[in-house]
Every structure is written in structure tokens, then in C-alpha cells.
Amino acid sequence: MAQKLSYQDIAADIVQLVGGAENVMSLTHCITRLRFKLKDEGLADTQALKNHDAVVTVMQSGGQYQVVIGNDVADVYAEVEPLLNVSSEDTEDAPKEGNLLTRFVDVVSAIFQPILGLMAACGMLKGLNLLFNNLGWYEQSSGIYIILGAIGDGLFMFLPVFLGYTAASKFGLKPMLGMLIGIIMCFPTIQASALSADGSPISTLFADTPYATDVYMSFLGIPVVSMDYTSTVIPVIFVVYAASYIARFFDRVIPDLVKFFFSPMLTLLVAVPLGLLLIGPVAALGSSAIADLVISLRDVSPLLAGLLVGLTWQILVIFGLHWGFIPVYINNIVTNGYDNVMMPFFACTFATSAVVLGVFFKTKDKKIKQLCMPNFISGIFGVTEPAIYGILLPLKKPLYISCIAGGIGGAFYGAMNFRKFVMGGMGIFEFPGMMNPDGSPDNLYVAFAGVAISMLSGFILTMLFYKESPQEVEAETTLAQAVEDESAALEEFEVLSPVNGTVLPLSEVKDAAFAGGKLGKGVAIDPSDGHFLSPVDGTIITVFPTLHAIAIKADSGAQILLHIGMNTVELKGKGFNCHVSRGDQVQAGQSLVDVDLEVVRAAGYSTTTPLVLVNHAQHQITDELEQEHFNIEAGQTLFHTIDSKGTANVS
């Protein structure tokens, strides 16, 4: 905490910077942050708050405006509350949900976070493989092309498997069950392409209409409209989301004796067929309707049709609604010798790459900067998924800019009747297919001009209008720098696991402050039971009134924060039975709190429990923290730590 400011001064600053007392609808706090619900978040000066010496960071999530303070939050809260005209319980009129689109984007971005590095790596390999093949270094029939193709395409082909795992972690479903759902959705025999190739349709839905859809199988007499689920994103996320609620229901009603296998079995039997029955028709009808709209609009104005395709293509890809253009594209090339309906999308590929390049020059976030260049290169080769899900979607504004730039290029292509004559190729390797068979280079010139227009638009708009929000700028100060601990010693000590469960990287925690390391370094644990023990010998310095968070000062001076679950402050102690109080001396392995995890899950909250070293400016973790999941038992060593000025040998 800044030494020159009193808690009263800090409170006055915060109230002023959130837009004044009249802008505050309600206020609560948890172990580290003030949780405001504001009438208009636009009135808050987020950047000024972020730069305030007493504030670690600011987060806007779930309709709450969260000002992260750290260990002094209770003292600051005590001074803020009298300045407001609302009760800490006055939440009746506060919005219960944030903007739906924003929340959706945040969820999808969080689900992609653990695999962004893999996507960038595979995208680069995929692009390089295409480059080397086009340079004539080896043929598509060669072993090197096939093997590198498998390496580059493997993640994208089976993307639902990876997303099933990460989505399950996000939604509180067992990750392996989510992975299995992804595998089922990639199973060869349920893909639309396989079904249509192996047999004739058993019926046709919406026959004699523009939305006629062939049906190749049924489930309990209900027609199943199939689609190709490989490489898709949204379908598996929706199915896993539904499965998380279905699993909670079965976990509550099935006896413990048979829950281990009956609950996942019944969850799969309900969630997967339900998802396949609902998603297929929505995707098929939605994509067909959009393609028909573009075709009809092209008859009126090719420029507007191109604008619509370029403007919406990235969004259509995210939702898997772009497939409706593929039959039109193929039919046009086979029948007319060229396609000019779908081709305005070509602008989007290069608009995306240019926006990523602009973000590279604008961002101060080292992690984002590291992703930009490989994503830019893979985008030039036509592989834009890493850029979309790793940069554009999480940052939001670059996605909007990319859509606008794609729309500008698409409108140009539409107005110039841009065509493609030969199928195949991706990114820069599509140019040969744009050469007119009659030898005229005019269409190829249009292709180059459209790429230039799209890239210049995307890059210039990004440089002019993209500014990092407070959530996107890494905090210059951490909680450890705000909390001085002059009694730190130079001794090594162990931090033990407080509970049985699965250890996760902090980056997978569904809270940006913990996931970004702003509240300390450490790990998270997905507990398998609710019996939490002390991880160190020391003194209890904080037991939050709702019992979900406990801070311990180890005998060496290191401060350990145990935060049980996410947003469990809202339970107000329900399901928690604490055995210690502030000031108690505890030994490693001593019982701290018992938690009914079923109560937490039934209320819709994650039980993922971060355990972090708060004052990591004074103490360092000497172990390389695992980025993979592994099981651990209470009392086993999680990591070792020493005073930051000391040295120790750790076996």
C-alpha cells in the first residue's frame, strides 16, 4: 500500500474514479477486491484507477466492476462504504449479467487460452509445408508433405477434442468427459461428408423449399441433420456447456456407490444426442440462409454482397456458418467455370494478418507480442485460426477492425466482379487459381489490389484506433509490491498441497487476476474432496467472513493465499465449516476448513482453488511450476520457496 496515502484518501480517490457515489448501485468485497456494480461503467476512469498506487488492477466481469486492492481490501472497504448511499447488500437493481456478446467472447477466449501456443506452432508448420510444396521442394504425395501435413493439421482437424477438454475445465465438467465429447463429435461415421458419401438420404427436410436438407440417419425416429464437426469451435462448446449442467443433475440424484460410472454414462447419453439433434439443423439452416441472402443481394448490388461477405466472414467462421457457401462455390466453378459469390472472403484472410501486425506494433503485452508474428505469418499462408482465437477474439476491438477491413476489401472485390477459376490453395497460394484461363491478367490484378486495400485498411485502422484496455495491459506493480513484508527471512521452506485433487496451471483459473499472476505466483488445484489443510507452518492473518479465503503468514515470512473456488464469496459461507480464526498458529497439515463441494457446484460455482505466494517480490518459488495437470494428495509438496535474496538447493 502506498505509504503517503491513508485509507480515507484511497477510498475518496476510488469513489471519485468509479464515477462518484451516485454512479454506484452496490458494493461488496472479497479477500482481494472491491466489487462494484455501477449504473454506467463508462463513467469510471479505469486507466486512472489502474495507475493508482493503491490499486493492483481493474477487472470488468459478470456485470461487476472489480477494483483489486490486495491484503488491505477490508480496510479500504471500511472507508469506501460510508461515502456511498447504498448498502453492501443493495443489489436488487444491479444488472445480473454483463453484455451477452462480451461474456460469450470472454468465455470462448478463455477456452482457447491453454492451446494458443500449440495453435501458433501448428499454423506455422502448416503454412511452411504449403510454401515448400509450392516451391517445388517436394510433392504432395511425398512422405515429408504427408507427415508435416499431419503435424500442422492435426490440432485443427481435431480441435473439438482440445476444446472439449478446456471447455469442461471452464464450465466445471470433468475435463476427460469434455475431451470424450470432442472425440465423439469428430468420430468419422457421424460426419456429414462420410454419411453422404456412403449412402442415399433416408428423407429430406423442408423439401421443395430453398432450405431442403437431406437426412442420412435418425435417432429414436428423430431425423438427425448432420454436419462436419471436425475443425469446428462452437458446437463442442455448446454441448460441453449443456453437459456440465446435466452432469451436476446426475451427480445429485445418483447414489455415491454407482455415481463414478453411471453419472458420466448418463451425461453422455443425454448431452451428445441432444447436441447433435439441435446443432445440425441450426447450422445447416443458418448457413444456407446466409448463403441465399448473399446470392440474392448480389443480384441487386455486387458491391453490397461483397461488403456483407467480407464484413461477416470471420464471425461466420467462428460459429461454423460459413459452410453454406461451399456448395455454392463448388457449383459455380463446375457450372460457370468460376466463383464470384464466396470469393470476397479472400480479403478477410489478409485483413486479419494486417490487424495482427498492427497489434504487434501497438501492444505492450509481451505474451500477445510473442503470438503476433507467428500468427501473422500463418495468416499470410491462409491459416487464420490462431490469429482469430489467440488475438482478435480475446482483444475484441481488433476483431471488429478486421471485420471492417475485410468488408472494405470485400466490397471492392464485389464491385470489380472478382473471380476464382480453379479450386484449391490457401492464402497467397490461391493466387494461381485467380488467373483467367483466357490469359488476361486483369482478374489477378484485382486480386492483388484487393489484398493491398484490405491489408492497408486493417493496419491503418489498428494503428489509429486500437488502444489496450486496462484488462489488456499487464500491471507494472503486483500485489507483492503493494504489501511490504519486512520480516522476510532467508530460509527455504516447503509449501504442501492443502487438499487432494488435480494440480492445474494458474493460467487455467477462470479469473483474470489469478490467471494473469496479478495476485501472486503459484498453482491451482481442482479438489477431489472438501477437506482443506494448512500448506505451511505459520499464523492465520486473514479468514474472510464468508470463509472461502484464508491467508497464512509462514514462519519464514512468506504469505500464502488459499482461495477456495471462484466467486464463492456469493455463497456467504454456505457449505463452509472453518476450524481456524485470525491470529491462530497452525502447523502444516492442520485442518483449516471443510467444504461441501456439492453445495458449491450446485450453486453454479467452480471449485478450482488457487494457492498463491502473495509476496513473491520478497520470496521466490524455486521449482519450475508444472504446466501439465497431475494428481496430488494433501500433504505432498507443491513447491519450494526461498527469500528472494537467498539461495537454496532444492532436490
Average pLDDT over every residue of 261-276: 92
Distances (CA, A) of 302 to 341, 440, 536, 586: 9, 22, 69, 74
Of residues 29, 52, 322, 563, which has the active-site annotation? Answer: 563
- Domain end point (choices 79, 98, 117): 98
Of 219-233, 251-265, 479-493, 595-609, the range with the lowest mean pLDDT is 479-493
Residue 293 lies in a domain: no
> What pLDDT shows up at residue 617?
64
Instruction: Name the grid cell of 370.
Output: 510473442
Give the residue-averaged pLDDT of 45-62. Answer: 83
Distance CA 526, CA 611 (A): 11
Q: Could you tell me which residues come within 8 angstroms of residue 409 by beta carbon, excluding any fewer than 6 positions away?
A: 310, 344, 346, 347, 348, 350, 351, 450, 451, 453, 454, 457
* Residue percentage of the chain with pLDDT more than 70: 88
Distance CA 179, CA 510 (A): 18
600 shares its domain with 615: yes
Active site residue 548: no
Same domain, 73 and 172: no
Which of 437, 454, 476 delimits the end of a domain? 476
Looking at residue 447, what is its pLDDT? 94
Evaluated on CA atoms 611, 615, 621, 624, the torsion sign reads: positive
**Predicted local confidence at residue 371, as pLDDT:** 84
| 551 and 468, same domain (yes or no) | no
Expressed in percent and rounded to 5, the helix, strand and coil fractions of the chain are 50, 15, 35
Q: pLDDT grade, residue 594 (50/70/90)?
A: very high
What is the spatial distance between Cα 128 and Cα 119, in angstroms, rounded to a whole number?
14
Clarify whether residues 456 and 546 are in a common domain.
Answer: no
pLDDT tens readout for residues 100-150: 666 777 777 778 877 877 887 888 888 888 888 878 899 989 999 999 999
In this structure, are 192 and 179 located in the same domain? yes
- To the query of whether residue 578 is one of the catalytic residues in this protein, the response is no
**Is 639 within the bounds of a domain?**
yes
For residue 37, give Cα distances in angstroms to 59, 398, 446.
12, 27, 52
Strand-pair partners of 224: 217
In a domain, 648, yes or no: no
- Mean pLDDT across the stretch 242-266? 87
Non-local CB neighbours of 177 within 8 Å, separated by 6+ positions: 168, 243, 247, 264, 267, 268
Place of cell 490461391: 430
Q: What is the pLDDT of residues 539-549, one digit of tens each?
A: 998 888 888 99
Q: Would you say residue 81 lies in a domain?
A: yes
Out of 447, 476, 505, pick the residue that ends a domain.
Answer: 476
For residue 142, the one-letter residue type is S
- Beta bridge partners of residue 218, listed in sequence order: 223
Using CB atoms within 10 A of its CB, is residue 95 exposed (0-12), middle (13-18) or buried (19+)?
middle
Please say whether the beta carbons of 341 and 90 come within 8 A. Answer: no
Domain for residue 212, yes or no? yes
- Do 260 and 310 share a domain, yes or no? no
What does the pLDDT read at residue 284?
A: 67
Same domain, 321 and 456: yes
- Nearest of 570, 563, 393, 572 to residue 472 by alpha carbon: 393
- Please name which of 60, 54, 40, 49 lies closest in space to residue 5, comparing C-alpha atoms: 54
Q: Once rounded to an integer, what is the mean pLDDT over residues 520-525?
A: 88
Which residue did the predictor score with more confidence, 165 or 192?
A: 165
Residues 108, 249, single domain; the answer is: no
Place of cell 489502474: 50
The total domain count for the chain is 4
Tell how far CA 451 is from the center of its chain: 30
* Pair 233, 331 in one domain: no
User: What are the two backbone dihedrals, phi and then psi, of residue 339, each rounded to the nearest 5 degrees?
Assistant: -125, 135
What domain range is 578 assigned to? 479-643
Q: Please name the residues in contact with 272: beta carbons below 8 A apart, sequence gap of 6 or more.
A: 181, 184, 185, 239
Picking from 461, 471, 477, 475, the residue whose alpha carbon sits closest to that of residue 362 is: 461
pLDDT in tens, 188-222: 988 877 777 767 888 888 777 766 778 888 899 88
User: Is residue 294 in a domain?
Assistant: no
Q: What is the pLDDT of residue 74?
A: 74
Question: pLDDT-derived band of residue 534, with 50, 70 and 90 as boundaries?
Answer: very high
Instruction: Assess whether 35 and 11 both reside in one domain.
Output: yes
CATH number at residue 52: 3.30.1360.60
pLDDT of residue 611: 93
Of the candidates 407, 371, 363, 362, which has an alpha carbon nearest to the alpha carbon of residue 391?
371
Q: Could you tell me if 472 and 491 lie in one domain? A: no
Whether residue 449 sits in one domain with residue 486? no
Residues with Cβ within 8 Å of 620's Cβ and at least 6 positions away in sequence, in order, are 641, 642, 643, 644
Is 463 inside any structural domain? yes
Task: Please check whether residue 148 lies inside any domain of the structure.
Answer: no
